[in-house]
Structure 1
């Protein structure tokens, strides 16, 4: 008797592919290798080719148009926290179980935040460029120009304290930083995190990291008025959408010296638009959406999705099920 087929379209740990291969026939075709995202009809054809009972995605989308064309599919695994790559209502209507992988990149993003905070505090990138450009002609000038500050005793503010925010807080607390957070949807936090109002968060933070999701509520939340309330000499790090902050106002705050710098990893477009005003400032660290890009992130979500798929096939509710009203086990 042939094994059921699963289709994996995401980067996926070979260890967990091997583990799953004892139970399933597997087609692994990562979108990063094919450099292709399928339209709804192409996705349906792929699923129907082998009557796949499960499909695992990271950047592909699964819309109702696809689900209307397939009959074998019972399980969708999403290799990310966000679930907007799948039409959940349509999947539920078709009695297809959907799981995601919450906080799969939390540690990676936390370490990224640490890296850019250290870069801003110790002026590492600027100092590197200083040496490479041949400007290091006098040892005394560099010692004064690139004198930095230590993190011990400084205050980190978090705009949002979900899974990623908590991982950032845990890491920074170990460096003897004071941790403040503002999140209207959270009532409790680790004992070393002080939940506070937005005004205190802005006025007290030496480094402010935005980890709240970009949505209608947070779009433009850090406007010119709120940026003016930030502590003088502080720095802003955004690892959620850049449009949480008014970018024109941010540049003015940095140019005036009110803010010491910023780091941005997630932009409105990928790659960033060549005419983006953010490219004009040497005081802003710009990275190409790499906050979660680690090998361990892939291992982590591979383990989460593989475990949930096995639970599903054993008639057990998956840990990270998105639509628990569907219990359509094999």
Structure 2
């Protein structure tokens, strides 16, 4: 296969890279977070048959898609396609694929790790000991058993987290207007009113995609509905939460803490107030890129590209619309 694939915004795991190279594909990779003009320039230079999207500074739009003149497929290295203008790609006849299910378990584990770390007061205890303070009276850890976990977005990741949290005795309620009733099995209770879920939960974990409907879904009004002392976990997209409203709720003590793997602007500025607060736990949008997940995502993205360029139909679950 004499084809060229550009990986925009980082490199594939070696296993994914090998899948492409062994098929005779020329692979070109860029640095993370390159801007729109840099994308256009590299597309014109290499005229790729397909691109794999990792980390971009700007949304991939029609001008970038047309710049190389022969783009036939766009593959997302992950499942969130908010950095791709899918409507523009569809209008140009360029299918967009996702690596559905490849990193969901890692994301669910990351959310659970953030829940446990905050609930057990670990960051503060670690800081106290490092400052030479050994005082058990300052421990404010909670037992998660019996606590109510509200999951917003009940696809594969939300369902996986529900199983993990249920196993340690948490009560699970979930909101997702798009998930079939069959997904709400066992002890998970479906909540059809997001406001009621927020008001009923001790911990809220977000797992919904970024769409026009979910942009700033968790705003000042909805944060005010949450229980005093509740925790908010976001391993979805940063734009789902109104950061200004979240900062105020954390500063004022309405929320006890927040675990955040994504932010409104990425990479965020070093002066982001969320980084200065003692009741936040932050990570650089890495929930879905454990070493294991990165291998799985890279291989699946590479295989989606090869199948698409070979004219093989992709399963519907891999196609963005």
Q: For the superposition of Structure 1 and Structure 2, which TM-score range results when normalised by the shorter chain?
A: 0.7 to 0.9
Change (3 A) 1:281 1:178: same
SS of aligned partner of 1:299: helix
1:303 CA drift (Å): 2.1
Which of 108, 111, 122 is residue 110 of structure 1 equivalent to? Answer: 108
Q: Would you say the 8 A contact 2:199–2:226 is kept in 1? A: yes
Which of 76, 80, 83 is residue 82 of structure 1 equivalent to? Answer: 80
* Higher gyration radius (CA): 1
1:255 CA drift (Å): 4.9
Change (3 A) 1:130 1:202: same
Residue number in structure 2 paired with 1:5: 3
Separation in 1, partners of 2:215, 2:253: 24
Separation in 2, partners of 1:126, 1:183: 34
Residue number in structure 1 paired with 2:189: 194
Separation in 2, partners of 1:194, 1:38: 44
Which of 139, 145, 152 is residue 152 of structure 1 equivalent to? Answer: 145
Residue number in structure 2 paired with 1:42: 41
Matches within 5 A, 1:174-185: 174-185=167-178
Separation in 2, partners of 1:99, 1:245: 26
Residue number in structure 2 paired with 1:16: 16
Q: Deviations over 1:108-142 (max 9, x none)?
A: 22122111111111111101100111122xxxxx2
- 1:309 maps onto 2:302 in alignment: no
Which of 202, 209, 224 is residue 205 of structure 2 equivalent to? Answer: 209
Separation in 1, partners of 2:247, 2:44: 48
Q: Report the more deviating stretch, 153-162 or 57-66.
A: 57-66
Change (3 A) 1:150 1:75: same
Separation in 1, partners of 2:17, 2:271: 43
Gaps of 5+ in 2: none
Q: Would you say the 8 A contact 1:11–1:298 is kept in 2? A: no
Separation in 1, partners of 2:218, 2:34: 36
Separation in 1, partners of 2:65, 2:217: 37
Separation in 1, partners of 2:308, 2:174: 37
SS of aligned partner of 1:68: helix
Q: Would you say the 8 A contact 2:16–2:300 is kept in 1? A: no
Q: Would you say the 8 A contact 1:222–1:245 is kept in 2? A: yes
Q: Would you say the 8 A contact 1:6–1:24 is kept in 2? A: no
SS of aligned partner of 2:44: helix
Change (3 A) 1:28 1:72: same
1:209 CA drift (Å): 1.1
TM-score (structure 2 length as normaliser): 0.82
Gaps of 5+ in 1: 137-141, 324-330
Greater relative contact order (CA < 8 Å, ≥ 6 in sequence) = 2
Q: Would you say the 8 A contact 2:152–2:205 is kept in 1? A: yes
Which of 282, 286, 291 is residue 282 of structure 2 equivalent to? Answer: 286
Separation in 1, partners of 2:170, 2:245: 28
Residue number in structure 1 paired with 2:266: 270
- 1:260 maps onto 2:276 in alignment: no
Separation in 1, partners of 2:249, 2:88: 46
1:181 CA drift (Å): 0.9
Separation in 2, partners of 1:7, 1:20: 8
